[in-house]
Chains A and B, each alone.
Chain A
Amino acid sequence: MKSLIKYFVYISLIIALSFALPRLIPGSPLFAMVEDVSSVGNMTKDALKAFEKYYSPELPLLEQFAKYLNNIFKLDFGYSFYYKMSVLQLIKGRVGWTLLLSFLSIGISSLIGIFLGIRSGLKGRESKLLVSSFISIHATPTFLIAAIFQIIIAYKLRLLPATGAYTTGASFGQPGYILDVINHMILPLLVLVISQIPPIYLFAKNSTANVKKEQFVKMATYLKINKKDMYLKYIFKNIIPELLGRLNIQFVLAITGSIFVEAVFSYPGLGQLLRSAISYRDYPLLQAILLVCCTYGIVVNFIFELIALKNVKRC
């Protein structure tokens, strides 16, 4: 209950922040724009009208805020200048691809990462090369990994399609559609998985090494309990709480990761939306993406807190 209130406060803070930031930031063009229409040549009169109707910059701040809140409760995020459609519709259409990519990548990378991590944690010392290359991959920005993969595999070797989520013109239900989607997904998914394995691996390895030092594991070794049981019952069970904490962070990171990867591969998710929102100065869209991402982070955290609570009760 207490945490529910906490998360409610978080969400209201985020909403307040998303309202306040555009108005506080020095040189924010949001309101200069209304006065200087010539600076946004690609903005039509209609879009400007929709913009003024949504933000109504002539009202006093408090009323603006009330209106903003009201709009958000009605899930009305305004009208995108660039795409010329309602922001809600746009995001609804795109968010599925982003979630698909990030959830799939988390599933695959945590399976591989946890497995490898526990194995090297049990073995004790791992080869320097593996650890330092994992640290190096972890250090490299995701979009660079994506760009490098795109150059080599898609442009130079022409093995896989370089952009998009499906061949233009293909639609759901056509024969070969699903294969086509999978074909387009391999490369972005691969990049995401590669960028996510190292943190999970390093984490699993360290916590396994810590559990291994505990007395009860030593005891189990003396008692000659078979390897498989020890693996599952003694070690894996004990690193679950720590792993859950890490996965929580990973779920948030996966969204930002897939945003970058999507932007590189022009995958029709939030990332691509964000990129065009930024380059065409599409503020309502930008604001909505911020809200969606932050709400996602808060919700993920909330779910993991619930899981952690349940775990504590069971023990």
Chain B
Amino acid sequence: MLYSFKRLSKTKKVSTIILIAFLFVAIFSNFLMPYSHEDISHPRLLEPSRSYLLGTDEIGHDIFSLLIYGFRVTIFIAIISGLFTTLIGTSLAYISAYYGGAIKTIISETANLFVIVPEIVMIMFFSSLARPKLIYTIMAIVFFSWPKVYKIALFKIMNYMEKNKVKYTLLIKGNWVDVLKKLLPDILPVMSTFFVLQCNKAVMYEASLSFFGIGDPLKKTWGKLIRAALDYDELYYDSTFLWYLLPPVLCLIVFVIALTLLASENDEL
């Protein structure tokens, strides 16, 4: 683990450290939040002070607590959707590669269809129809993002299937478990890249959905916080946006950029 970290380039090291720090905040958010995220008993629209680090919003939330709570919800969404998208995409790719024939045609044509239509519009359609619950948002994201993972995974797996060790396993009538065992060392690194990329996408999708006002209004993600800030009419009159809008925007941007840089295959970084 430590060895592979050392081999990373400087940019990737920095991204990894940032991501670990974010994960830490998310896990220990309960201890870091000075107030509960549901507590609206504070005086409204305070400027930042020692007891309210980022001031309070127009309802009476402590913005700093909301921001920290946002770490937890947002990162939870990212990890769960990233995990499921990667798993579903690669397992379907493996099934298509292993069985081939009609199964492959059906799955890959379905994937093709979802790749050519704008997926965010589909996700929006799905999740604005469903009840505003976190689980449905995640389901919508997973349901419409697996095809991209599938297409790349299928391409890679088909390449690996041509390798001698896999052909040999097939020759001695190894079943799908045996073939998978031979393939896993090759696909695992690819899968981890997918996972990071999909986490990134999930965060972007969630933020976009929140921007359009879709999703569970009680689970305050960064996206919801940004939306709330943008909805506040007097945001630009003074410098309210500095502590209301800017912190969630920065958190979101830093998080997605760290994920992208970590997953990027660009060798110049």
Contact = CB atoms under 8 A, between A and B. Distances in A.
Nearest to B130: A25
Contacts of B226: 144, 147
A168 interface: no
Nearest to B249: A144
Nearest to A287: B125
Interface stretch (A87-95, A148-156, A225-233): A148-156
Contact of A260 (B211, B214, B236, B245): B211
Given A22-B129, A28-B129, A144-B253, 17 more contacts: A9-B109, A10-B116, A25-B130, A26-B130, A27-B130, A131-B266, A131-B269, A135-B260, A136-B260, A139-B256, A141-B204, A147-B249, A259-B121, A279-B212, A294-B117, A294-B122, A298-B116
15 contacts: A10-B112, A26-B130, A27-B131, A139-B253, A139-B259, A141-B208, A151-B241, A202-B266, A252-B118, A256-B120, A274-B121, A274-B124, A290-B121, A293-B117, A297-B116
A143 B116 contact: no
A135 B116 CA distance: 23
A256 B256 CA distance: 19
Q: Which 6 A-B pairs have the closest CB atoms?
A: A27-B131, A139-B260, A294-B117, A297-B117, A301-B116, A256-B118
A314 interface: no
A211 interface: no
B50 to A, nearest CB: 27
A297 B261 CA distance: 29
A181 interface: no
Interface residues of B, number: 43
Interface in A126-149: 126, 128, 131-132, 135-136, 138-141, 143-144, 147-148
B249 to A, nearest CB: 6
A143 B252 CA distance: 12
B130 A143 contact: no
B116 A263 contact: no
B130 A141 contact: no
A278 B211 contact: no
B260 A290 contact: no
Interface string B124-156: 111011110000100000000000000000000
B11 interface: yes
A255 interface: yes
Interface in A13-33: 13-14, 18, 21-22, 25-30
A25 B129 contact: yes
A136 B113 CA distance: 29
Main secondary structure of the interface of A (DSSP, over half): helix
Nearest to A139: B260
B213 interface: yes
A132 B261 contact: yes
B264 interface: yes
B207 interface: yes
Interface hub of A28, A126, A139, A253 (most chain B Cβ within 10 A): A139
B126 A135 contact: no
Given A10-B113, A255-B118, A290-B122, A144 B252 contact: yes
A190 interface: no
A58 B261 CA distance: 53
B129 A30 contact: yes
Contacts of B252: 141, 144
B207 A144 contact: yes
Nearest to A143: B211
Nearest to A18: B125
B200 interface: yes
A138 B200 CA distance: 12
A275 interface: yes
A155 B236 contact: yes
Contacts of A6: 109
A140 B129 CA distance: 27
Interface string A142-185: 01100110010001100000000000000000000000000000
A286 interface: yes
Interface in A249-295: 252-253, 255-256, 259-260, 263, 274-275, 278-279, 281, 283, 286-287, 289-290, 293-294
B268 interface: yes
B257 interface: yes
B118 A13 contact: no
A200 to B, nearest CB: 15
Contact of A128 (B112, B122, B136, B268): B268
A14 B264 CA distance: 33
Contact of B257 (A136, A275, A281, A283): A136
A125 interface: yes
